[in-house]
A = this chain, B = another copy of it.
Amino acid sequence: MKQNLAFLITALALSYANPVVVAYAADPLPSWNAGKTKSAIVNFVEETTKESSSKFVPKAERIATFDNDGTLWLEQPLYVQLLFALDRVKALAPQHPEWKDTEPYKSAIAGDIKNVFAGGDNALSEIMMSTHAGMTVEEYDELVKQWLATSKDPRFKRTYTQLVYQPMLELLTYLRSKGFQTHIVTGGGIEFVRTFCEKTYGIPPEQVVGSSIKMKYEYRNGNPAIVRLPGIDFIDDASGKPIGIQKFIGRRPIAAFGNSDGDLEMLQWTDAGRGPHFCLYVHHTDADREYAYDRTSTVGKLDKGLEEAAKHGWTVVDMKSDWKTIFPPIK
């Protein structure tokens, strides 16, 4: 960072002394190793943002969409939001004495995740609804914020918002500096991600598309309240992603970033755009510094997506060789 600053100051000083000198820009992606992945990103951004370029895209149309789990932050060994839900079951257990004899709560309280999963989608859905509904949107926001501030990943001994990918943070900042809008399009809960996206990614809540449960507007103690209800409103995954993009953003992205088969339709929709566009998969190949998984993983499976990426010439990040560092320094 200090070195970049020095570059910048020198460049500014030079351009001040002699306005004809082209400012020497510091590397906007310092955590990306030089190579074809980094070049593909920079080339796309340069050619779509230079007015003289034949591939120039007007600022209003520079929509970039990012998956969250496994693309911007850690998703192994389990999705962070699911860890939150399991912890909420434990916290709520005293108010639900019946849970200690009822599955999937019994297993969740005992920390037997494998047995919770054995209950299938119904068990997971029940846990999600009983922990994510029944409160106002403000109460939910507060619960998630408190949990994120205090819970740590046991392997990395970091809070979850410290387990975001440094190279992707740089990419978000780089794109925004070039006039792109950076939207999150997540299979996870929209309100869950909204609790931390602004501080962590620089992405405001109104630029998050995600899965949602139903809500109700009512009066509580004489004041209007929006209450979260135990029922699915929208699943923003797989073919739900292009639908969510159309619904919330109303424009086709020109750049899309994902890491799993759940992002495939978002990338296909972006790839089918008439103008210049860019599709990228983050491939988790680094078991030492993070995790290595793809075709057979239960979380973040990337199988069909790898075939499609090869077929369409999409950029695939090899985490191990393309990224100098995985996580940001702890402040």
Residues of A bordering B, CB below 8 Å: 60, 63, 137, 181, 183, 190-191, 194, 198, 204-208, 212, 215-217, 223-224, 226, 233, 239-240, 242-243, 246-251, 265, 268-269, 272
Given A204-B60, A265-B217, also A226-B250 (CB < 8 A): no
Q: Which residues of B contact A63 (CB under 8 A)?
A: 206
Question: In the bound complex, do residue B247 and residue A206 qualify as a contact, i.e. CB atoms below 8 Å apart?
Answer: no
Query: A-B pairs with the 3 shortest C-beta distances?
Result: A205-B250, A217-B239, A206-B249
What are the residues of chain B within 8 A of A60 when measuring CB–CB?
Answer: 198, 204
Number of copies of this chain that the complex holds: 2
Interchain Cβ contacts under 8 Å between A and B, 11 examples = A63-B206, A190-B250, A205-B250, A206-B206, A206-B249, A217-B239, A217-B269, A224-B242, A224-B265, A224-B268, A226-B242
How many whole Å from A74's CB to the nearest CB in chain B?
23
Residue of B nearest to A222 (CB): B272
Chain B residues whose C-beta falls within 8 Å of the C-beta of A265 in the assembled complex: 217, 224
Please state if A215 and B191 are interface contacts (CB–CB under 8 Å).
no
Q: Could you tell me if B269 and A224 are in contact, using CB atoms closer than 8 angstroms?
A: yes
Closest to A206 in B: B249
B272 touches A224 (CB 8 A): yes
**Whole-angstrom distance between the alpha carbons of A60 and B205 in the complex?**
10
Bound complex: CA of A137 vs CA of B252, how far in Å? 11
Let me know if A246 and B204 touch, CB within 8 A.
no
A250 touches B191 (CB 8 A): yes
A250 near B217 with CB under 8 A, answer: no
The answer on a CB contact under 8 Å between A243 and B215 is yes
Q: Chain B residues near A215: list those with CB within 8 A.
A: 243, 246-247
